[in-house]
Amino acid sequence: MERMATALACAAIDRHLAGVLLFNLDPGRIGALGRWLAALLGSQTRTVLAGAATHDEDLWTRFSLSGSQVSITPGALFDQTVVLVPDLTQLSDAGARAAIATIGADVAHIERDGHQSIQVPKARWLVGCRREGAGELSRHLLDRFALRVDAADVPGELDPPPRSWRDAVERAAHATPLPMSTRVLGYVMELFTAADAGARRPVAVARLARAIARLDGDETVSVRHVDLATEHLGIPRHHRLSVVDDASPLSRNDAAGPAPNRTEEAIQAPEGPVPQYLAAGAGFEAPSAVHTSLVAVPYPEDEPMTRSRLGSVNLDHTSPQWSNVAAHGRPWGTVPAHDLTDLSITASLLEACKLQVMRCPGHHGSAHRLHVTAADLRRHKRTIQPTDLLVLLVDHTCGGANWNLPAALGAHIAWAYEQRAHIRVVELGDADSADELSARQFVVRNALDRRLHRVLSRRPGRATPLAHGIELAGRVLRRFAGSDRSVARDTRFVLVTDGRGNVPLSASLTGQVDFPVARRGVEDSLYAARQIRTLPRTQTIVVCPGSHRTSPVVTELAQVLGADILTGDGDNG
């Protein structure tokens, strides 16, 4: 909690540190943290919630009505505001664009709704994100959040910010930045010499060190403050500067001449009492020294095998494949209309109201009709419903030591990623299942979901309730095929099994096995498979280990499904 409190205080001191990313934060507690930060910024600060339904009009401009005049002023991004985003992976494109354009920027240009101005962004962004989900986000967006803290242990009740911190924030608003020597700047840059991280990360460390020095009441920034900054960010410090820091301002440092060498052991945790800012508030634990053993690096986007959901897949919504999708999905905003399809009447009339006095000075006379032009028309902006479906049925009891399940399913998962398909997973026969007699199903958010990766690495169990798994998959396929035939396009059902189902469907439903089982599990599987073959626009593929490619049960199951047989190495059977 101490790290997070310090990060919020530093964000309040320096508006260039406006982006605070909280890993693994309970979304229900972001409001309390927002109010805590607002209390540091001043009594006039308000909080604004942003999410999947946020659009440009919520952030950039504000409309007010005074008598018969409609005025347009800069919006929440340019007020003393705390923007709260419970889940960054769910933030709309409009919200992401606003964050990229304003966080850490000196100025921002507004050209909207006839309003043109240059403003200074003042909003602070407090966003939550699962650490494993950060790899799905655009690196360009993540780069804007200089302060990153693990927030899994945020308490339900927070003590108010200490008075000394509020005074430091107030002084920083009217004071010049603290001086930083060239030796300290060199120390900051050396922290990143081994990584191609660009310029934003060392700049963020330097700004954080300056804010910490301000909290501590110091007059200059020293190496100790940089060490505390890296500790709060969780950056591993594998490199050390081999010169003495004299904490002198830049002008004095140039005339001081070279400093004597300093060994690595000399730059360790600071000795003496705990800095003032660490022990300033009740409820915050202040460390007695800077810890060098760090649990997690704050830049999960640098980890291998992470793919961004923004920018890596570009959808052409004007192509014929999306023509039937435009009028479907939940509306979450409006955009200018180029035709009369899916018009938002309310938004169009409100747009026309802004310019009535300009178009007709005598508009407010008795019984005067509203002047509406084509430029006022607005249409709904809707969420995109997946038009494709991938159903994966994974039997963990098939295969052997050489069975490579990720390679066998890689092409199908890549197809789902490229098409942004809806993905449903049905799995059975794993050793970790709570009920080995039945299959289970779940929905993954997209092809990058870590739960999908865990499915590909489970240990095999003893029972194979294949009939129940095919029955569950059939329900999903029938529901998708019958939901909206004008939207649904392609369905792919991939069945990974060796066909040897040894649990009858009745045993899966009742939890009791009537012996002898004999061939009842296989017959139930074939019966459930016959109900799938008749579904329209459904491609069925049976994937099995190479050693079972010619197995009679696999061949019979594929014939009933009308499916192709693929082996684990991707060859046709």
**pLDDT tens profile 199-224:** 788 888 899 999 898 888 888 899 99
- Give the domain CATH number at 25: 3.40.50
- Give the domain CATH number at 545: 3.40.50.410
Measured CA to CA in angstroms, residue 486 lies from 144, 326, 386 at distances of: 41, 11, 12
Question: Residue 252 has what pLDDT?
Answer: 35
Whether 316 maps to a domain, the answer reads: no
Q: Are residues 335 and 252 in the same domain?
A: no
pLDDT band at 260; cut points 50, 70, 90:
very low
Q: Are residues 76 and 28 in the same domain?
A: yes
Q: Are residues 108 and 246 in the same domain?
A: yes
pLDDT digit string, tens, across residues 347-381: 998 888 888 878 887 766 666 788 889 889 999 88
Is pLDDT at 171 greater than 70 in this prediction? yes
pLDDT digit string, tens, across residues 561-573: 999 888 765 444 4
Is pLDDT at 121 greater than 50 in this prediction? yes
Of 245, 265, 300, the position where a domain reaches its end is: 300
Question: Residue 506 has what pLDDT?
Answer: 92
Is pLDDT at 267 greater than 60 in this prediction? no
The more confident residue out of 59 and 264 is 59
The more confident residue out of 94 and 438 is 438
Question: Residue 68 has what pLDDT?
Answer: 63
Assign 447 to helix, strand or coil. coil
Q: At what angle do helices 2-13 and 223-233 cross, to 10 degrees?
A: 120
Question: Residue 454 has what pLDDT?
Answer: 86
The more confident residue out of 100 and 200 is 100
Measured CA to CA in angstroms, residue 394 lies from 413, 465, 572 at distances of: 13, 11, 19
Query: In whole numbers, what is the pLDDT of the chain averaged over residues?
Result: 78
Q: Are residues 513 and 368 in the same domain?
A: no
Q: Are residues 341 and 486 in the same domain?
A: no
Q: Are residues 247 and 175 in the same domain?
A: yes
Which two three-digit tokens encode residue 74?
Answer: 């800069």
pLDDT band at 497; cut points 50, 70, 90:
very high
Q: Are residues 139 and 185 in the same domain?
A: yes
Highest mean pLDDT among 274-278, 294-298, 458-462: 458-462
Q: Are residues 253 and 364 in the same domain?
A: no
Whether 27 maps to a domain, the answer reads: yes
Q: Are residues 452 and 404 in the same domain?
A: yes
Is pLDDT at 142 greater than 50 in this prediction? yes
- pLDDT average, residue stretch 329-340: 82
Q: How many domains in the chain? A: 3
Whether 60 maps to a domain, the answer reads: yes
Whether 424 maps to a domain, the answer reads: yes
Q: Are residues 109 and 206 in the same domain?
A: yes
- Quote the percentage of the chain above a pLDDT of 90: 20
pLDDT digit string, tens, across residues 299-317: 776 665 444 444 433 344 4
Name 490's bridge partners: 388
Q: Are residues 65 and 38 in the same domain?
A: yes
Give the domain range for residue 260. 2-156+169-300
Whether 201 maps to a domain, the answer reads: yes
Whether 92 maps to a domain, the answer reads: yes
Question: Residue 475 has what pLDDT?
Answer: 92
Three-state DSSP string of 524-536: HHHHHHHHHHCCC
**Gyration radius of the chain's alpha carbons:** 30
Give the residue from 94, 100, 139 showing the smallest Cα distance to 310. 139
Of 266, 300, 334, the position where a domain reaches its end is: 300
Question: Residue 318 has what pLDDT?
Answer: 39
pLDDT digit string, tens, across residues 501-555: 899 999 999 988 888 888 899 999 999 999 898 888 889 999 988 777 778 888 9
Is pLDDT at 486 greater than 70 in this prediction? no
Whether 310 maps to a domain, the answer reads: no
Contacts of 442 (CB under 8 A, 6+ apart): 424, 425, 451
Question: Residue 485 has what pLDDT?
Answer: 45
Among 286-295, 398-407, 528-537, the range scoring the smallest mean pLDDT is: 286-295
Whether 319 maps to a domain, the answer reads: no
Is pLDDT at 261 greater than 70 in this prediction? no
Question: Residue 196 has what pLDDT?
Answer: 46
Measured CA to CA in angstroms, residue 307 lies from 85, 355, 414, 565 at distances of: 22, 45, 12, 30
Contacts of 555 (CB under 8 A, 6+ apart): 565
Of 347, 365, 382, the position where a domain reaches its end is: 382
Q: Are residues 377 and 397 in the same domain?
A: no
Question: Residue 249 has what pLDDT?
Answer: 37
- Does the predicted model carry a pTM greater than 0.95? no
